[in-house]
Amino acid sequence: MLIMKNQHYSQARLKKSKYFLEIKNLEKELFGNTLYDVYKIDNEIQFILHINNGNMLGYVSYKINESNCDIYNLATKKNCTNKGIATSLLKMLQKYNIYLEVNENNRKAISLYTKNRFIVYHKVANYYQGESCLKMKRSAMITKKAAAKINLVLNVLERDVSGYHQVDFIMASLNLYDDISIEISEQDEFVCPKLEIDKELNIAYKAWMLIKKDYNIKKNVKI
The pairing of beta strand 97-103 with beta strand 68-76: parallel
Residue 103 to residue 100: CA distance in whole angstroms: 10
Residue 53 to residue 39: CA distance in whole angstroms: 28
Question: Which residues on adjacent β-strands are paired with residue 58?
Answer: 50, 76
Q: Which amino acid is at 88?
A: S
DSSP 45: -
Phi, psi (rounded to 5 degrees) for 177: -160, 160
Q: What is the pLDDT of residue 2?
A: 45
> Which is nearest to 171 in space by CA: 195, 141, 194, 149?
149
Sign, CA torsion 53/54/60/62: positive
Q: What is the pLDDT of residue 198?
A: 82
pLDDT in tens, 53-108: 888 899 999 999 988 999 998 989 888 888 899 999 999 999 999 999 999 999 99
pTM of the model: 0.73
Q: What is the pLDDT of residue 4?
A: 60
Residue 84 to residue 67: CA distance in whole angstroms: 25
Give the DSSP H or E segment for 70: strand 68-76
- Regions of the chain with pLDDT less than 50: 1-2
